[in-house]
Amino acid sequence: MTKVSPLLAISPQVRDAVATWGQQLSAIHGAAQNTVVAYQRDVAGYLHFLAIHRGGSEGLAHLASLPQGDLRAWMAHERARGLSARSLARALSAVKSFTAWVADRAGVDATTVLSARAPRFKRKLPRPLSVQGAQDMMDTVAGQATEDWIAARDRAVITLLYGCGLRISEALGLTGAADPLPEVLRITGKGGKTRLVPVLPVARAAVAEYARLCPYDLSSDAPLFRGARGGALNARLIALVMEKARMQLGLPATATPHAMRHSFATHLLSAGGDLRAIQELLGHASLSTTQAYTAVDAARLMEVYEKAHPRA
């Protein structure tokens, strides 16, 4: 049986509304494309459920003023099919955003839907590597490849993650125009937000060595980091390289590419870095997000607080 998209089960009017809402999330609120797609998928699933649950597709005005019982039925359905509390909380956030958007245009009160509480879940705290563990990871990754240029490439990518706090997508998004690396990189991160990131000499040297050995032409508009056949390097390959390295080093499964970014933030704060400055370097919109990124004990956070707090 052919699987039908949830969006096909709802009316063209509502389907168009979902598309327009997604476009505005991107254009006005700066949401990343992956976020928009995920939110639209969540809302499509919600609308598909309602069409079946209520015996037909609802008009836009009715969607904004549904009784909370229908919303709870959807949430119970999602949990019953195995959706985690974390994923359901994200889906509910998408549904609320769409509902608020619809209510604003239809001129109806969406308080019932918007007041629904998300399921509670325990946030997983990041587990950064130790300083020695991060160094060992970079060294071990560089010693795995059979070709010198690939070894240099892998080391350069990992060094950027740890030395500059880049996301893997940001590192792999660099083009040949970034070679040689400047002292300060302009990075466009999530939601199209731009930030300036200082580049350590060790990172510049690692990328320069890779560029020297790379057998492909690193033109300014082409990807800086290449796969074995010359195409853009896939993030999964870096994850696999780190997986192999952590097994050699006896590191936990949490020693992933993203953990290098966590390690960057944690080690900076442990060395006396300012939390606000680290927030800027990571490109976080909220300071609370940066705090979650840093695995520093309460005593260290209190020390930072005491130094930063203005005294009368």
Report if residue 299 sits inside a domain.
Answer: no
In whole angstroms, give the CA distance from residue 286 to residue 302. 19
Measured CA to CA in angstroms, residue 267 lies from 56, 91, 132 at distances of 55, 34, 11
Are 47 and 81 found together in one domain? Answer: yes
pLDDT single digits (tens) 37-53: 888 899 888 888 888 88
56 falls within a domain: yes
SS3 (DSSP) at 227? coil
| Lookup: tokens for 9 | 């089960």
* 85: helix, strand or coil: helix
Q: Which residues pair with 232 in a beta bridge?
A: 226
Segment 202-227, tens digit of pLDDT:
999 999 999 999 999 888 888 999 99
Are 82 and 14 in a shared domain? Answer: yes
Q: Which of 210, 242, 258 is a domain's end point?
A: 258
Please list, in sequence order, all residues whose beta carbon lies within 8 angstroms of the beta carbon of residue 54, skipping any fewer than 6 positions away: 70
Neighbours of 11 (CB within 10 A): 15
pLDDT at residue 11 in the model: 72
Write the CATH number for 153: 1.10.443.10
Q: What are phi and psi of 185, to 5 degrees?
A: -95, 140
205, exposed or middle or buried, with CB in 10 Å at 0-12, 13-18, 19+?
middle
Exposed, middle or buried, 74 (CB in 10 Å: 0-12/13-18/19+)?
buried
Instruction: Specify whether 141 is located in the same domain as 243.
Output: yes
Shared domain for 149 and 54, answered yes or no, is no
Where the chain has pLDDT below 70, the residues are 1-10, 29-30, 56-59, 121-126, 191, 273-275, 283-312
Do 141 and 241 belong together in one domain? yes
Predicted confidence at residue 30, as pLDDT, reads 67
Is residue 265 included in any domain, yes or no?
Answer: no
Catalytic positions: 167, 190, 258, 261, 284, 293
How many domains would you assign to the chain?
A: 2
| Residue range 6-20, pLDDT digits in tens | 554 567 788 888 888
Q: Where are the beta strands (DSSP E) in the chain?
A: 184-188, 194-198
Instruction: State the Cα–Cα distance between residues 17 and 73, nearest whole angstrom.
Output: 23
Range of the domain at 158: 131-258
Asked if residues 65 and 114 have their Cβ atoms less than 8 Å apart, the reply is no
Residues 110 and 152 in one domain: no
Residue 270 CA from chain centroid, whole number: 24
Tokens at 88, concatenated: 């359901």
Let me know whether 77 and 178 are in one domain: no
CB 88 within 8 A of CB 78: yes
DSSP 3-state percent helix, strand, coil across the chain (nearest 5):
60, 5, 35
Give phi and psi for 119, each to the nearest 5: -65, 145
CATH at 76: 1.10.150
Domain boundary among 227, 243, 258: 258
